[in-house]
Each structure stands twice: as structure tokens, then as C-alpha cells.
Amino acid sequence: MSTFDERANAFENKFAHDAEMAFKAISRRNRAAGTWAAGLLGKTGDDVAAYELEVIKSDFEEDGDDDVVRKLAADLEGKADEATIRAKLAELHKVAKAQLMDEG
């Protein structure tokens, strides 16, 4: 294998790793957002876990955070506005990335 091929493989592997880590961070963030929102909604026990999964699934509707924000804003109407939700998602994303780095 030539040096060029080795470099190409290294870049492909790094890209795949970075994409996987980004997906894990967003999924972890969405789970944490579900926990946060469930608390605001007064959910407990198994209802919290079920709601976390609803929030995670909502992220598969379209690229970006708008689908998650829309779901949370609709569910949290009167309890949290869109700006608060976006700020919470940003905060939780930082936490999720840090957790993954610590685990890695």
C-alpha cells in the first residue's frame, strides 16, 4: 500500500470516527434534553425513559435541531420558550461531548 493510500485510509477513518462521535453526542444530548423536559412536565419513572426516547426519535425527522426544538416547544408550551430550549440544547451538547471525551 502506498503512502497516499495509507493517508487516504487514515482520513477516511478519522472522518468516520468524527461522524460517529458527533452522532453519539447529539443522541446523548437529546436524551438529557428529554430528561430535563420530562422533569418540567412532571413525568416520573418509566415515563421519563419513554419521553427520552420520543425526543431522540424526533431528531430523525430532518437535519439539524429544528425538529427537536419543535417537539420540545410543543410539549413544553408555557413552561419553556424556544430560546430557552435552544440554550439548554447547547448546554447539554457541551456536557455530552465532554462526557464522551472522558470515556474515550
d(CA 55, CA 52): 5
CA 18-23-25 angle, to 5 degrees, is 95
Check which CATH number belongs to the domain holding 47 and give it. Answer: 1.10.790.20
3-state secondary structure of 45: coil
| Total residue count of the chain as it appears in this document | 104
Q: What is the pTM of this model?
A: 0.86
Query: Does residue 104 have a pLDDT over 80?
Result: no
pLDDT digits (tens, 9 = 90+) for 3-48: 877 887 888 888 898 899 999 999 999 999 999 999 999 999 999 9
Query: Does residue 61 have a pLDDT over 80?
Result: yes
Structure confidence at residue 13 (pLDDT): 84
CA distances from 13 to 22, 64, 83, 94 (A): 14, 24, 36, 24
pLDDT digits (tens, 9 = 90+) for 80-94: 999 999 999 999 999
Long-range CB pairs of 43-47, under 8 A, 24+ apart, other chains included: none
Residue 64 region by backbone torsions, left for phi larger than 0, else alpha for psi between -120 and 50, else beta: left
Q: What domain count does the chain have?
A: 1
What mean pLDDT comes out for the span 61-80? Answer: 95
Which domain, by its residues, includes 49?
A: 3-103
